[in-house]
Each structure stands twice: as C-alpha cells, then as structure tokens.
Structure 1
Amino acid sequence: MLLLVTAVVLVPVGVPVWRAFGPDRRTGAPGGALALLDAVVRALSSPAVRTWLTNSLLVTSVTVVVSIAVAAPAGYVVSRGRGRGVRGFALLIFGLQSLPILLFTVPLFVLFTSLGLNDTLPGVMVVYVGMSVAVATWMMSSHLDSIPVELEEATWIDGCSVLGGFLRVVLPNALPGVLSAAVYVFLLTWNDYWIALVFLRSEASYTLGLALAGPGSSPVIAVISMLPPLVVFGVLNRYFSVGGIGGALAGR
C-alpha cells in the first residue's frame, strides 16, 4: 500500500524528469544524461533563470536562519519552562500553527501595500518566517525534551548562566533537532507557490517555484528546482543521528 501511494505521489515528480531526459521535441536532439546536463547549463546561462534561482536561495536561506534563531530559544523555553505563562505561550504557538495561511493572506497584502513590502523579497521572507517558526518551535521543543536537564545543571554548578548552558551544552547536543527543523523550514519555503503568487508581481522578484508556472518554464527548470533540496538533504543526512547523548550521564 505504501509503495502504491509513493508511486502515485512521485508521478508529478517523474513526469518533468522523464521529459527532461527525453529527446527535445522542438529540435529533435536525442535525450539522455549528457543532453540533460547540457540543457541545465544552457538554462543557467539565462539571466532570468539565474535571477529566479538566486531569489529562491536568498529567500530560503534567510528564512531558515531567522526561523531557527527564533525557534531554538523559544523551543527551549517551552521545553524547560514551567508556569501559566509558558503554558499560555505554548498554547498560542499551537493555535497559530493550526490556522491556515490563507486566513492571513488578504490582511497581510493590505498591510504590506501600506508598508511598501509588496513585490519585494523581504516581504515574502516575513511571511515565510511567520509560517514556519511555530512548527519549528514545536520541533525544537520535542527534541530538547530528550536532553537530560542534569547536563545543564552541571554547567550551572560550574558557574555558567542559563544562556551559557543553553549555548554551550544544550544547543550542540540538539544539533539533529536543529537540522530537522532547518530542513523543514527549507522545504516549506523552497516549495511554496501561493505566497509568492500573491506577494510577488514582477519577474525580477520571482522565485523559482513561481517561475515554474510562468510562460518561460520548462522541464529542465523543474529539474533545477529539485537539485538544492537533494543537495541539502544529501549533505545533512549523516548528521541526523540519535542517541548521541546516551552516555552523557553514565556513572551519575
């Protein structure tokens, strides 16, 4: 059953890849890996494609950095904090996470128009951070729950502050959780179409996902859009480990 569902889900991915590997219908040139590589190089030589790719990389990178910088300490507060204020904060995050982004699109569009943020990359960055930071906070909180608080208490006894213990002990041990949240934010931002469609108007501001629906799109551009997520996951995959702190409290 899972294989069947996976096959159905992969059909939209396989079609542009198959067309990109196939022979060129306009020129009649044969297909294959070398032909695809040549087509990718030719596509990247286009100023428009380079602009779209640069915009996507810039927006995604900034969103990931800002979201993780906010979600890591927020998740630490949710994981370690006690009291009504923390519980209320956690409930607020959960409530924001459950609301669809469509609910905020029109008010944000009106607000951004008055602020001059429509058709700008910083404008969509703000929306993407707002979309992803709640879920990233919950992901960080759930991972920080697995880190023994005794590790922090040992640093406090040695004279370290709460912030120092978080930065020196908790955050390094939470690296798999940080990377998981970062990959989530990366994929959410990179694959977005709706927000870019609403807030970006000029082609110079297009992201690659929005450009795929434009008149100049091609299967080769679709293949190019698949490469960064594959590279990111391929590079970070070995850092997704569990049990890294299993022996940290041995002998205590």
Structure 2
Amino acid sequence: MKTSPSARSVTGTRDRDRLVRKQRREAVSRWGKTLVMAMVTLIVLTPIILILVLSLRSGQTASGVYSWNFSNYVEIFTKTPVMVYLGNTLVVTFGTTIFAVIIGALAGYPMSRLRNRFIAGYTLSLFVVQSLPVIVFVIPLFVVFANVGLADTLSGVAIIFIAGSMAVTCWMMASYYDSIPVELEEAAWVDGASMWGGFIRVVLRNSYPGILSAAIFSFLVAWNDYLIATVFLRTQSNFTLPIGLQTFFQQNATDWGPVMAMSVVMLLPPVIVFAVLNRFFSIGGIGGAIK
C-alpha cells in the first residue's frame, strides 16, 4: 500500500520537530553543565585570587586609599630569609619524593604480582600504620631522633615524610601494576629477559602515569606539612616555608600583606610542578603494548 504525499509530509514534519526538540534539550544540557562547571571553578579559584590581590595591596595612603605594588614581595625577600626557607623545603620535598617513589615502585610490584600470607600481612600492616594519626608518633619519634642526632635536621624530617607517604605510594603503584597484563612480562621472559629485566623494561616503562601520581602525592605531603616540621625543626636556618609563614603572625597583630606574599611563594612551586608534569600523564599507557 503506497503512502500518500500528504502523509509523508506529515511524518517528515514530525521527525523534524522531534529532532529540533532533541537538539534543544542537548543544547540546554550543555549550557547547564557549562554553567555548573564555571560556578565550581569560580568557587575553587576565589581563595587563590584573593591571595594574589591581597599580596599586591600595601598600606593605606594619607587619603585612606590602598596602594597596589610589589612592596610586600620586596619586604619578604629583603627582610626575611625566604630563600633559605624555600631551599630547605625544596631539599626535603624532592628528597622525600625521590625515595618514596623508588620504595613504592619496588614494594608495589610484589604486592601486585604475589599472592600469599606474607604479602597479605604486609599490606594489612601498611593499612594499619597509615590509618593511625600522625600526632600519635610525633613525640616518640622526637625522643628517638633526639637520641640519634636527627632532631632539628632536614634529613630527619625527610625520613619521617618518606615513612608517612610510603604506604600510599606502595598502594598506588601496586594498583597501577594490576592494570598491566602479566602476558607482557611473560612475553619478555620468553624472549630471554630475567624477572628484574621484565620489571624494568616492561612494567616500569608502562607505569609512568602511576609513578607521576605517586610522585605528586609524596611532593604534596612534604611540601604542605606543618606539624612535623614545627616539632622537629628548632633552628631558623632549618625552617621550611610553612614554619616561615607562621613567623609572620604576631601575638597582637598580623600584617596580612607579607603573609599573602609568602603564601604566593608557597603556591608557585606546586603549580609549576603540575603544569610541567600534566602532559606526561598520557605517556606510558599500555594501549597497543600487547601488539
């Protein structure tokens, strides 16, 4: 039975109407998602914007108007040992990151590939230790470190940071190793590689995103710490940036301009690290590796 031209015209009109309504709904959905993301981004960036603005605002002039310049930055770099604080923080942070990633990369491999009671007990012990609050260990560790000469030293603080971040880096690396097929290592073994050679040439070469994630976590743990550094570091020449920032707070008043300028100095290195390493997260994936 043939369809009349009028019926086909009506059907075509209905299809076009449905298509137009669908496109409108999709457009509204896209705009709604964009608006929500814009609001979330604004909320997240508002504190950072305020820090930048306040760091550029100096004291009031005779007319009662604030002046805008870099005097706060000049003050912290000329009147306080900010570069010493920054150097100490970089030494502790990069030392922590390097050792924590190496230990996590090596310890995560047996946690991923071996299944026995010893590995299960080791994994459980990491979980138990990591679940305990840091404040529980501070005083006993300080007593032990004072007896062995590691109190008030950057190396002693770095050791604590490494121990504190090691459990999580082990879990992160083990979880990433789980995503790498064992067949890749077996193929390397068939070609004559040893177990160590298969780990280095196959597993690690495909684990760059996991390694970078563990490194960033360790970096932030050491960079942002205040409690451990406050307890263990007593000499100003050993202070890190969080302790240096605390020295700007006086008992009766606080000059917020230098405080915000110091906060900007603390913000810049993590931002630079994220900006530089962000493009490497797509490197080292296992797509196509089996082929």
Match of 2:180, SS?
coil
Q: Where in structure 2 are there 5+ consecutive unaligned residues?
A: 1-35, 250-257
Aligned to 2:279: 238
Q: CA deviation at 1:210?
A: 1.1
Q: Where in structure 1 are there 5+ consecutive unaligned residues?
A: none
The aligned runs of 1:125-136 (5 Å cut-off) are 125-136=158-169
Distance, in Å, in 2 between the alignment partners of 1:246 and 1:89 is: 31
Contact in 1 for aligned 2:157/2:229 (Cα 8 Å): yes
Q: CA deviation at 1:148?
A: 0.7
Contact in 2 for aligned 1:132/1:185 (Cα 8 Å): yes
Aligned to 1:99: 132
Distance, in Å, in 2 between the alignment partners of 1:57 and 1:170 is: 29
Residue of 165, 168, 175 corresponding to 2:208 = 175
Q: Residues 41 and 65 from structure 1, CA distance in 2 versus in 1: closer, same or farther, beyond 3 angstroms?
A: farther
Q: Residues 42 and 166 from structure 1, CA distance in 2 versus in 1: closer, same or farther, beyond 3 angstroms?
A: farther
Q: CA deviation at 1:144?
A: 0.9
Aligned to 1:224: 265
Distance, in Å, in 1 between the alignment partners of 2:244 and 2:140 is: 25
Q: CA deviation at 1:208?
A: 0.6
Aligned to 1:249: 290
Residue of 144, 147, 150 corresponding to 1:117 = 150
Please report the TM-score for the alignment, with normalisation by the length of structure 1.
0.88
Contact in 2 for aligned 1:20/1:219 (Cα 8 Å): yes
Aligned to 1:18: 53
Residue of 186, 206, 209 corresponding to 2:239 = 206
Aligned to 2:253: none
Distance, in Å, in 2 between the alignment partners of 1:26 and 1:118 is: 43
1:111-158 CA distances to partner (integer Å, 9 max, x unpaired)? 011111111101100110011000011011111110111111111111
How many pairs does the alignment contain? 245
Aligned to 1:72: 105
Please report the TM-score for the alignment, with normalisation by the length of structure 2.
0.77
1:209-228 CA distances to partner (integer Å, 9 max, x unpaired)? 11111138521111011000
Distance, in Å, in 2 between the alignment partners of 1:224 and 1:112 is: 30
Distance, in Å, in 1 between the alignment partners of 2:155 and 2:180 is: 35
Letter in 1 for 2:147: S
Q: CA deviation at 1:39?
A: 5.0
Match of 1:248, SS?
coil
Distance, in Å, in 2 between the alignment partners of 1:90 and 1:187 is: 23
Residue of 171, 175, 191 corresponding to 1:142 = 175
Letter in 2 for 1:168: R
1:186 maps onto 2:219 in alignment: yes
Match of 2:151, SS?
coil
Structure of larger gyration radius: 2
Distance, in Å, in 2 between the alignment partners of 1:151 and 1:46 is: 58
Aligned to 1:55: 88
Q: Residues 66 and 46 from structure 1, CA distance in 2 versus in 1: closer, same or farther, beyond 3 angstroms?
A: farther
Contact in 1 for aligned 2:85/2:239 (Cα 8 Å): yes
1:84 maps onto 2:117 in alignment: yes
Match of 2:287, SS?
coil
Contact in 2 for aligned 1:17/1:223 (Cα 8 Å): yes
Distance, in Å, in 1 between the alignment partners of 2:177 and 2:47 is: 36
Letter in 1 for 2:59: R
- Identity in percent: 45
